[in-house]
């Protein structure tokens, strides 16, 4: 029989998938991003407990103290704010609420949006229509106005902010997921699963979701920065995070009047938002490749990554 001839014909040399950490190390930019994000998470978890008091300690002689000097101790290295509180300590403490709100919002919106999108894409026309029209209602209502109304009624608090922001972001995930599901469910391998007798649950979670997930991941990382800024505008209006609680977005908003005289009030928190968003983006790009068996070889083959990219100084976190 001719069977054996094919068995010998070579598929590309066997490569066991290397552990994730090794693949992360191959992509130096993604590795640096992971380190930065880890530092930010650590700061968010431990910051309030360790530096909470210092961050709210007013010192009028240190008002708008210029950065890059150790004259008032390490905590004033990045300068002092308009009430003489140390910027560095405040930045670390602010990571807590910032990350909590942004991560909570993105996770909630992505979860609800993706679930609704999967249902809308997979189920029949009527269900889909109802879900899509609901999304249209949310989208047609100015998101900030909605947030103002709801927060005014419910009262400003972090859970309420997460709720409001998440609702306004749901349609993005929903529409993307639905569009992708509509395409993926017509693919042959989904039909093959139907023929084998796979349940709806299995088809959705085993065959459709893994194909849709990378797109959602990319949107989620882009959304992270957006949510941080949206939260700052709510805080700016006084219905968001309430002082003495602080977030990076609020710090940017509060520092805006001083931009000409004390640039560092708005610059450092702004820089942190940018770094966080960038790191998330790089990491999600890596993850998309690492999780796709078709693309994974890029991370396996590249033994020496371009070393031009220096990780941003972790002291910012």
Partner 1 sequence: MAEALLTVKNLSVDFHTARGTVHAVKDVSWSVGRGETLAILGESGSGKSVSANAVMNLLDTPPARIVSGEILYDGKDLLRVSYEEHRALNGKKIAMIFQDPLGHLNPVYTVGWQIVEMMTAHGRPAAMARARALELIARVGIADPEAAMRKYPHQFSGGQRQRLMIAMALMLKPDILIADEPTTALDVTIQAEVLALLKELQAETGMGLVLITHDLGVVAEIADRVVVMNQGEIVETGSVRDVYHHPQHAYTKKLIGAAPGKGEIKLLEAAPLLLETKALKKSYGGFTALKGASLTLLRGQSLAVVGESGSGKSTLARTLLRLEDADGGEALWKGRDLLRMGARELLGVRREIQMVFQDPTQSLNPRMSVYQLIAEGWDIHRLMPDRAQRRARVAELLDQVGLAPEHAERYPHQFSGGQRQRIAIARALALEPELIICDEAVSALDVSIQAQVIALLDSLRRRLGIAFLFIAHDLGVVRDFADTVIVMQAGEIVERGPTAQIFDAPQHPYTQRLLAANLDPDPDVQASRRASIAAPHA
**Interacting residues toward partner 1 by CB under 8 A:** 1-7, 9, 11-12, 14, 16, 187-189, 191-199, 202, 206-207, 210-211, 292-294, 297-298, 301
Measured on CA atoms in the order 304, 307, 309, 310, is the torsion positive or negative?
A: positive
Q: Which of 177, 169, 108, 179 is nearest to 139 (CA)?
A: 169
Query: Closer to partner 1 at the Cβ: 9 or 140?
Result: 9
3-class DSSP assignment, residue 13: coil
Q: Is 88 in contact with 74 (CB distance < 8 Å)? A: yes
- What crossing angle do the helices spanning 28-55 and 264-291 adopt, rounded to 10°? 140
Report, in Å, the least distance between residue 10 CB and partner 1.
9
| Helix (H) / strand (E) containing 202 | helix 200-202
Report, in Å, the least distance between residue 85 CB and partner 1.
50
* Cα atoms found within 13 Å of the Cα of residue 16, Cβ hemisphere only: 3
CB neighbours of residue 129 within 10 Å: 11
Residue in this structure with the two tokens 């949107």, named with its chain if needed: 219
3-class DSSP assignment, residue 2: coil
Report, in Å, the least distance between residue 155 CB and partner 1.
45
Q: Is 85 in contact with 57 (CB distance < 8 Å)? A: yes
Report, in Å, the least distance between residue 218 CB and partner 1.
17
3-class DSSP assignment, residue 187: coil
Query: Closer to partner 1 at the Cβ: 74 or 189?
Result: 189
Q: Give the rounded distance of the alpha carbon of 40 from its chain centre.
A: 12
Report, in Å, the least distance between residue 120 CB and partner 1.
22
Query: Closer to partner 1 at the Cβ: 102 or 181?
Result: 181
Q: Which of 216, 229, 219 is nearest to 147 (CA)?
A: 229
Report, in Å, the least distance between residue 309 CB and partner 1.
20
Query: Closer to partner 1 at the Cβ: 17 or 137?
Result: 17
Query: Closer to partner 1 at the Cβ: 53 or 292?
Result: 292
Query: Closer to partner 1 at the Cβ: 15 or 256?
Result: 15
Query: Closer to partner 1 at the Cβ: 206 or 256?
Result: 206
Report, in Å, the least distance between residue 196 CB and partner 1.
5
């Amino acid at each position: 029989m001719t069977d054996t001839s094919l068995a010998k014909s070579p598929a590309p040399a066997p490569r066991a998938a290397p552990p994730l950490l090794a693949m992360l190390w191959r992509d130096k930019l993604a590795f640096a991003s992971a380190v930065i994000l880890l530092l930010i998470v650590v700061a968010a978890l431990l910051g309030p407990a360790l530096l909470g008091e210092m961050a709210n300690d007013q010192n009028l002689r240190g008002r708008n103290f210029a950065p890059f000097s150790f004259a008032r101790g390490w905590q004033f290295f990045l300068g002092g704010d308009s009430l003489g509180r140390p910027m560095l300590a405040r930045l670390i403490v602010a990571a807590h609420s910032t990350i909590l709100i942004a991560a909570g919002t993105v996770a909630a919106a992505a979860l609800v949006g993706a679930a609704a999108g999967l249902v809308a894409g997979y189920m029949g026309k009527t269900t889909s229509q109802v879900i899509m029209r609901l999304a249209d209602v949310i989208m047609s209502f100015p998101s900030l106005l909605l947030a103002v109304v709801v927060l005014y009624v419910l009262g400003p608090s972090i859970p309420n902010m997460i709720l409001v922001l998440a609702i306004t972001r749901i349609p993005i995930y929903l529409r993307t997921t639905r569009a992708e599901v509509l395409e993926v469910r017509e693919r042959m391998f989904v039909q093959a699963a139907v023929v084998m007798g796979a349940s709806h649950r299995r088809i959705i979670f085993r065959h459709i979701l893994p194909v849709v997930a990378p797109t959602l991941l990319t949107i989620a990382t882009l959304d992270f920065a957006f949510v941080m800024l949206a939260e700052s505008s709510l805080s700016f209006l006084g219905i968001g995070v309430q002082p003495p609680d602080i977030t990076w977005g609020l710090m940017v908003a509060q520092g805006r009047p001083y931009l000409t005289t004390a640039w560092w009030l708005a610059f450092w928190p702004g820089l942190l938002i940018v770094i966080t968003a960038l790191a998330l983006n790089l990491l999600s790009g890596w993850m998309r490749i690492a999780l796709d068996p078709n693309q994974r070889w890029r991370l396996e083959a590249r033994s020496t990554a371009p070393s031009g990219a220096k990780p941003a100084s972790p002291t910012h976190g």
